[in-house]
Structure 1
């Protein structure tokens, strides 16, 4: 079945400040890897990250370290763990990386015959968001953001690094594939989500945007597992609060429009085909917002400190134009087809006959 046997080690973390987006996309990759016969083990910094990973049905081992800053010692820890489990690939998905960490881990992987894979969001905790990709020591680089091109990365890395660049590589869980979504002429339900967290009252401001737009639609408000929410903001509105949602796909399929943060959920919405207004909840989402908007996939509020009035304006635009809703839905599903994780694993070298 496989051209290569062994295990895949995924080094990532999740907590209230980081969110769970790293884990969500890595779970999609892990599930595809298991279909190809690999054992998948997550290596995490602490108990909180372990709980998030295992809450999604994966196995996580605590290897220690600061989830906001990886150094050379952390590289040795990950490499030692990878060797013990006979890993053929180590996938790093974290904003805590540094050049000392990646350089050392890459050398250790090379010495043991494994490959180093990195998901690059052009953002790190130490540098913040950078407008252009920077080179790392690695074998495979992934950036499925809407704004970057393969040419940018090929010019940066040369011919010896394998590239998974562009939204066609977005790893989306199978429950969002082939959703059979139907665009309706009248907007009856609006989905509101900020992922697992709710920084700076994002959900409340999204709701206020709906109120300002005076849209006659029911609201489905998704409150993530690491989020607080002021229920009183919904007073007088036809709204349902959903907490502890493990599968968002059925709620997405009922929605006529979504208002969403520009993280992992945005790719899931695109795969389903729900016309979406995307807003940033962190600096690292700004590039994604601009790319989402410029590719004609949806409307993006391209200001980090956005106001509810901006959401109301975009919502008013979509509610009044059913042809735009159909156009955006078709564009989204043509861009994100659900096969991203499969394409990634092919690039890793885990090919199926």
Structure 2
């Protein structure tokens, strides 16, 4: 059985789409599927040599080329905000076995056999099988294997995503030091393609701050974290699974709904940066650091937050999705 995944990654797009699709691909491979990413040539620098490359001149060219590829697959997974409701319906007409990954539920009505959203959302009747809620959060297999009862250390984990598109790591570090937060408790995690990584690493070395970059397995650092400062993409579900109370920096509009659902559960807090002007940016960084300082000393909140977070995500979402869809094809 052949599976194609349409997803791109870049500094602007981020790495979240690719990371969660990789988790899903791993689960399908375990079930015997042949899987391949289909990527726009413009984003080849963030792809793998084994990917199938299409287009390269425009979104329209890429979409047209992908339609013909979709015809020759048994299943297509689409994780791409560049596809409108009409684009998705057109793709469905070429390949009825279509799984759409979504976060915002803001594209209107479209057709798909399966729809996956790790948030509780209602979709139109044109979706045959909606898979919604945190039990379908797509995490890499290492998260399911972790023991979550271990007592965390006193580390503050700072991780602003695979690319840190707003280059927030360095100004947050600077503000933490200005507030006299102890550097010995700070652990920085940089993505392989993080903006301003060289400047961040230099700052960390000068100030004796622990850092890692491009780790394949981030779970040991999350397991050791007392709290985290993080971007609010797919890492939100990873931190929930590991039971890490977090102050999220919202860096993209598509993170709005996940934060709207998770912040009221009180295992995390949020400061928004995607709509901040240059003048407001520093003020919000200081607000974030103040929130960290306040929550760092609130042991009761941390204990309740860890318990709540762990109850939300069990780490088995990718296997759950793959087995559900595989069973559809196994029916005679």
Task: Give the alignment's TM-score, normalised by structure 2.
Answer: 0.86
Match of 1:45 among 40, 48, 53: 40
How many residue pairs match? The answer is 318
- State the match for 1:252 in structure 2: 222
Secondary structure of 2:112 counterpart:
coil
Secondary structure of 2:29 counterpart:
helix
- State the match for 2:133 in structure 1: 166
Question: For 1:106-152, what per-residue CA distance to the aligned partner results, in whole angstroms no more than 9, with x for missing partners?
Answer: 11113xxxx111111227xxxxxx4xx6222221111113xxx24x2
CA distance in 1: counterparts of 2:129 and 2:273, whole angstroms? 33
CA distance in 2: counterparts of 1:237 and 1:60, whole angstroms? 40
- State the match for 2:102 in structure 1: 120
- Alignment check: 8 A CA contact 1:169 1:340 kept: yes
- State the match for 1:24 in structure 2: 19
Report runs of 4+ in structure 1 exceeding 4 Å deviation: 232-238
- Alignment check: 8 A CA contact 1:271 1:338 kept: yes
Match of 2:318 among 315, 330, 341: 341
Question: For 1:196-245, what per-residue CA distance to the aligned partner results, in whole angstroms no more than 9, with x for missing partners?
Answer: 11233311233234335433342111221222232355477441221222
Secondary structure of 1:139 counterpart:
strand
Is 2:167 aligned against 1:201?
Answer: yes
CA distance in 2: counterparts of 1:203 and 1:160, whole angstroms? 39
**Deviation at 1:9?**
0.6
Is 2:197 aligned against 1:211?
Answer: no
Secondary structure of 1:201 counterpart:
coil
- Alignment check: 8 A CA contact 1:213 1:315 kept: no
Question: For 1:84-125, what per-residue CA distance to the aligned partner results, in whole angstroms no more than 9, with x for missing partners?
Answer: 4xx221111111112442222111113xxxx111111227xx
Secondary structure of 2:315 counterpart:
coil
Is 2:82 aligned against 1:82?
Answer: no
Is 2:109 aligned against 1:135?
Answer: yes
After TM superposition, the structure 1 = structure 2 runs for residues 1-353 of structure 1, keeping only pairs within 5 Å, are 6-46=1-41, 48-49=43-44, 52-54=46-48, 59-65=50-56, 70-71=59-60, 74-84=62-72, 87-110=73-96, 115-122=97-104, 130=106, 134-145=108-119, 149-150=120-121, 152-153=122-123, 157-158=124-125, 161-181=128-148, 182-184=150-152, 188-216=154-182, 217-227=184-194, 228-229=196-197, 230-231=199-200, 233-234=203-204, 237-302=207-272, 304=274, 305=276, 307-350=284-327
**Deviation at 1:287?**
2.3
Structure 1 unmatched runs, 5+:
1-5, 124-129
- Alignment check: 8 A CA contact 1:36 1:350 kept: no
CA distance in 1: counterparts of 2:302 and 2:176, whole angstroms? 17
- Alignment check: 8 A CA contact 2:233 2:255 kept: yes
CA distance in 1: counterparts of 2:301 and 2:100, whole angstroms? 36
CA distance in 2: counterparts of 1:160 and 1:221, whole angstroms? 41
Secondary structure of 1:333 counterpart:
helix
Distance verdict in 2 for CA 1:46–1:24, change over 3 Å: same
Task: Give the alignment's TM-score, normalised by structure 1.
Answer: 0.81
Of the structure 1 ranges 303-312 and 248-257, higher mean CA displacement relative to structure 2 is found in 303-312
CA distance in 1: counterparts of 2:326 and 2:132, whole angstroms? 16
CA distance in 1: counterparts of 2:204 and 2:173, whole angstroms? 7
- Alignment check: 8 A CA contact 2:111 2:126 kept: no
Of the structure 1 ranges 301-310 and 166-175, higher mean CA displacement relative to structure 2 is found in 301-310
Distance verdict in 2 for CA 1:278–1:324, change over 3 Å: same
- Alignment check: 8 A CA contact 1:256 1:274 kept: yes
- The CA RMSD measured in Å over matched residues stands at 2.5
